[in-house]
Amino acid sequence: MAPPPKTRKRRPLGAFALVAGILSMLVAPAVAGFAAFRVGRGAGAQIVAQGGQNLDLRVLTPVRDLVLVVEIAFWSGTALGIAALVVGIVATARDRGRPMGIVAIVLAALGPLVFGALAAVALVAGAGTTTGTGGALV
State yes or no: pLDDT of 80 exceeds 90: yes
Domain residue extents for the chain = 12-34+64-123
How confident is the model over 6-27, as pLDDT tens digits?
A: 766 666 899 999 999 999 999 9
In angstroms, the Cα distances linking 52 to 56, 57, 59, 63, 115 are: 9, 11, 12, 18, 21
pLDDT of residue 138: 44
The Cβ of residue 65 has, within 10 Å, a number of other Cβ atoms equal to: 12
**What is the value of pTM for the model shown?**
0.80
